[in-house]
Amino acid sequence: MQVEEIKKLKVGEILENVSLRNYTTYRLNTIGRLLVFPQTIEELKKLISYLKTKEIPYKVLGGGSNLIFKNSTYEGVLISLKKFNQLSIIDNQVNVGAGHSLIKLALKTASLGLSGLEFAAGIPGTVGGAIFNNAGAYQSDMGYVLWKATVLTPSLEIITMTNRQMDFHYRTSFFKKNPNYIILEGKFLLKRGKKDLLLAIIQDRRERRMESQPLTLPSAGSVFRNPKDIAAWQVVEKLGYKGFSVGDAMVSEKHANFIVNTKEATGEEIVELITKIKKDAAEKLKIELVLEQEIIE
């Protein structure tokens, strides 16, 4: 990789051979050969144009809350949109950068008496990542509240996409099927609500999550989508995988649809555990478990 050439592009802060422990919620000690933090759209466009010309693989990072880096090293370029974290709230319209924390956004809007994002108050990661995956909880998701998005196309044009164009469905979207489109900003239309009631709902749900989910250990949230007519955790429990480990990757004893990193789990161990569960679900229960997380080779 032409590291020095990339540095000369002046496309933001660059870190070399960096542990991704602090950039993934699984806290995997994968090494990223190059991690770049562009600050402007022009820097992002310049960087991607160069990488495409040189045929260098790259991956855009959100909060790393849905990613499994399978190998000990990622040889391509990782692009963090952490600096794209602007926030503007006018009446009930919220414009927010893709790199903004989703949890912070949910708490901020609730504290202003704006309703619609309470479901997101316990979902780690960034706004861009949440839109990409159509993150959701409590019978709601990003597709219910997102109005429009500003997007960088594969040809490096900036366009605005409407909710309908983003084709939201259960834990998927246009972006998941077309990952070369990069979300830059989300525009939400929220409803007026009572601040105290909204914050009380968020607090109640937080307490329920603490009781039912393994939040004290690194994980990436739900591993599998819920199949029809049965919860994914019930499938995993029925197969006897609750508490089962591959190395330091373990199916949580608290919630069977979570895999946790008990110490120094590797991406390879997590993927092996996922593969075992999927294989058994298909063979023993005739259920196809669909992975909600993304495996990066």
Q: In sequence order, what are the residues at sequence separation of 6 or more whose Cβ sits closer than 8 angstroms to the Cβ of residue 173?
A: 131, 132, 133, 134, 142, 143, 166, 167
pLDDT, position 2: 84
pLDDT, position 197: 97
pLDDT, position 122: 92
Q: Which of 118, 185, 269, 292 is catalytic?
A: 292
Task: Pick out the chain residues at pLDDT < 70.
Answer: none
Q: In sequence order, what are the residues at sequence separation of 6 or more whose Cβ sits closer than 8 angstroms to the Cβ of residue 264?
A: 29, 248
| Inter-residue contact 29 to 86 (CB < 8 Å) | no
Q: Which of 65, 222, 252, 269 is catalytic?
A: 222
User: Is 49 part of the annotated catalytic residue set?
Assistant: no
User: Is 140 part of the annotated catalytic residue set?
Assistant: no
User: Is 171 part of the annotated catalytic residue set?
Assistant: yes
The total number of residues shown for the chain amounts to: 297
| Inter-residue contact 152 to 128 (CB < 8 Å) | no
Classified by CATH at the fold level, domain 3-80 comes out as 3.30.43
The listed CATH number (1.25.40.10, 2.40.37.10, 3.20.20.70, 3.30.465.10) that belongs to domain 87-196? 3.30.465.10
DSSP code string of 199-226: HHHHHHHHHHHHHHS-TTS-EEEE-BPP
Helix 195-212 vs helix 102-111: angle between axes, to the nearest 10 degrees? 140
User: Which amino acid, 293?
Assistant: Q
Q: Which of 27, 101, 171, 219 is catalytic?
A: 171
Classified by CATH at the fold level, domain 215-296 comes out as 3.90.78
Structure tokens at 214: 């393994």
Structural domain boundaries in the chain: 3-80, 87-196, 215-296
Spatial CA neighbour of 127 closest among 85, 170, 164, 88: 85
pLDDT, position 1: 72
